Amino acid sequence: MSCELKAKDRTGVINLIFTCQPAGAQYVSIGIKDCIGIVHGGQGCVMFVRLLISQHLKESFEIASSSVHEDGVVFGALDRVEQAVDVLLMRYPHVKVIPIITTCSTEVIGDDVDGVVRKLNDGLLKEKYAGREVHLIPIHTPSFVGSMISGYDLAVRDIVKYFARKGESNGKINVITGWANPGDVTALKHLLSEMEIDATVLFEIEDFDSPFMPSGNTVSHGNTTIADLTDTANASATLELNRYEGGKAANYLEETFQIPTLIGPTPIGIRNTDTLLHNLKTLTGKPIPPSLVRERGIALDALTDLVHMFLADKRVAIYGNPDSVIGLAEFCLDLEMKPVLLGDDNAGYVNDPRIHALRDGVSHDMEIITNADLWEMEQRITQNDLRLDLIFGHSKGRFTAIDNQIPMVRVGFPTYDRAGHYRHPVVGYAGAIWLAEQMANSLFIDMEYKKNKEWLLNVW
Ligand code: SF4
């Protein structure tokens, strides 16, 4: 029995699990109120990312492009940033925050985005937009390093760093959710509200589950305000739920403003949600109320109905964002399932205590592949006889599941081939129920189509 941590032994990537760094920064930008990011690069760096986010959330929102063309790549394209900022401010009178997100091409040519921000602050903003509050924030996200995860992490840090200012203590806690769905934000706010904790949930996109109103406005936006960001320096603590998606910002606040920080756990499953509530209790002194004890009981009851009969010993492959992959693996182990293959691109796993715990604790053979791609999973299934009962991952792996007739539960970003997943939380006790029931129902459908003990469902 072993748990091996190893990098994919092949250069190049076939069928990526992630997209590039600017995508993460764009996801962060949509969580801020009165904000439209400008992506400094070719139009595709926005168009395809925006399409992906839009497919995932089934909503419309705004991100701009500096629309760099061939001449810009040869001679430099900072004039495009100047024009983009001007056009954006003219076109959108409400916009106050403009992250300027670099891409591979503009980082390679060495465009001095910090310099052009200084120039715009001293020139255009003073002359043409005097009296208007505008914040231009350079975010350096070259796509030849990292992935959308590190892009998210960098953008959260740089935006917090830009705004955070020491003032009076506000008695609140900062909550950095990491890459979350609207349903996850609602579930987290519910836990905080049940514990009567005053918290600032940062970069949250709860309102991307938008109503269709009589006014006809269908453009979604995030809810984190400039005041929220400024006040992050005055919180009593920071709770950072995902180590790799906001950890840098939490560390910055701790080092610069001495705000105590707790990192993790990613609250997927009963165990991790328990730890989250315990951490909140430790940070705030607020007790865990009976209402949450009851919710926990309902979740335990739902899981008990499924675990021994259907989920135990099922072999699962999990891919996606590192923190959610680890959270899902921990949850599967608690359900007596067997995660056999974990894949993502995280080189930081070597020092991750959760990976150490997995390596020390599993009683079956398991592989954790860093810098993985979907080809890696496919190869193991088709060439190495990897037997799987279930796949956990986002929609990009759907053909591996379909071609190999393996039931699949969609989790993570992007999920565009199932209805309403962004609305259902994977975190908290509600998320534990949702995930376990999704797994069970996927296995039930598989049993029926393959005529594999489907009669069991008559007598369950
Ligand atoms: S930043 Fe580079 S890798 Fe990412 S979309 Fe733009 S061109 Fe492609």
- Closest to 223 (Cα-Cα) out of 30, 371, 441: 30
Shared domain check, 382 and 266 = no
Round the average pLDDT of the chain to a whole number and report it. 94
Shared domain check, 392 and 375 = yes
Ligand 1 centroid–CA 125 distance in Å is 29
- Does 165 map to a domain? no
Ligand 1 centroid–CA 433 distance in Å is 37
pLDDT-based confidence at residue 215 (cuts at 50, 70, 90): confident
Q: pLDDT tens digits for 11-60? A: 888 999 999 999 999 999 999 999 999 999 999 999 999 999 999 999 98
- Does 26 map to a domain? yes
Atom 1 of ligand 1, nearest CA residue: 103
Q: Is the pLDDT of residue 7 over 90?
A: no
Percent of the chain with pLDDT over 90: 86
Shared domain check, 301 and 270 = no
Residue whose CB lies within 8 A of the most ligand 1 atoms, among 26, 40, 67, 103, for a mutation test: 103
- Does 237 map to a domain? yes
Shared domain check, 339 and 306 = yes
Atom 2 of ligand 1, nearest CA residue: 104
Residues with CB under 6 A from ligand 1: 20, 22, 41-42, 44-45, 103-104, 143
Identify the helix (H) or strand (E) that includes residue 57: helix 44-57
Shared domain check, 429 and 320 = yes
Shared domain check, 434 and 308 = yes
Q: Which of 119, 153, 187 is the last residue of a domain?
A: 153
Shared domain check, 269 and 180 = yes
pLDDT for position 14: 93
Ligand 1 centroid–CA 47 distance in Å is 10
pLDDT for position 34: 96
Atom of ligand 1 nearest to the CA of 49: 5
Shared domain check, 198 and 74 = no
Residue 254's CATH number = 3.40.50.1980
Ligand 1 centroid–CA 81 distance in Å is 17
**Residue that has been written with the tokens 């099922």 in this structure:** 314
Ligand 1 centroid–CA 179 distance in Å is 20
Q: pLDDT tens digits for 405-431? A: 999 999 999 999 999 999 999 999 999
With beta carbons less than 8 A apart as the criterion, state whether 100 and 40 touch. yes
Q: Give CA 338 to chain center in angstroms.
A: 24
- Does 269 map to a domain? yes
Q: Is the pLDDT of residue 97 over 80?
A: yes
With beta carbons less than 8 A apart as the criterion, state whether 235 and 262 touch. no
pLDDT-based confidence at residue 360 (cuts at 50, 70, 90): confident
In the chain, the number of structural domains is: 3
Ligand 1 centroid–CA 71 distance in Å is 18
- Does 219 map to a domain? yes
- Does 132 map to a domain? yes
pLDDT for position 198: 97
Percent of the chain with pLDDT over 70: 99
Quick check: pTM over 0.85?
Answer: yes
Structural domain harbouring 90: 21-153
Q: Is the pLDDT of residue 216 over 80?
A: no
Shared domain check, 444 and 305 = yes
Ligand 1 centroid–CA 54 distance in Å is 18
Shared domain check, 311 and 438 = yes
What is the arithmetic mean of pLDDT over 423-443?
98
Ligand 1 centroid–CA 16 distance in Å is 13
Shared domain check, 114 and 63 = yes
Ligand 1 centroid–CA 152 distance in Å is 15
pLDDT for position 73: 87
pLDDT for position 344: 76
Atom of ligand 1 nearest to the CA of 103: 1
Q: What CA–CA distance (Å, rounded) separates 250 from 156? A: 9
Q: Which of 256, 287, 318 is the last residue of a domain?
A: 287
Q: DSSP states of 102-142 as a string? A: E-HHHHHTT--HHHHHHHHHHTHHHHTSTT---EEEEE---
pLDDT for position 349: 82
Shared domain check, 363 and 345 = yes
Q: What CA–CA distance (Å, rounded) separates 151 from 284? A: 31
Residue whose CB lies within 8 A of the most ligand 1 atoms, among 19, 104, 154, for a mutation test: 104
Tell me which of 115-124, 291-300, 357-366 is least confident.
357-366
- Does 160 map to a domain? no
With beta carbons less than 8 A apart as the criterion, state whether 261 and 237 touch. yes
Identify the helix (H) or strand (E) that includes residue 328: helix 322-334
- Does 201 map to a domain? yes
Atom of ligand 1 nearest to the CA of 41: 6
What's the Cα-to-Cα distance from 375 to each of 14, 147, 180, 397, rounded to whole Å? 6, 17, 26, 9
Q: Which of 237, 257, 287 is the last residue of a domain?
A: 287
Atom 4 of ligand 1, nearest CA residue: 20
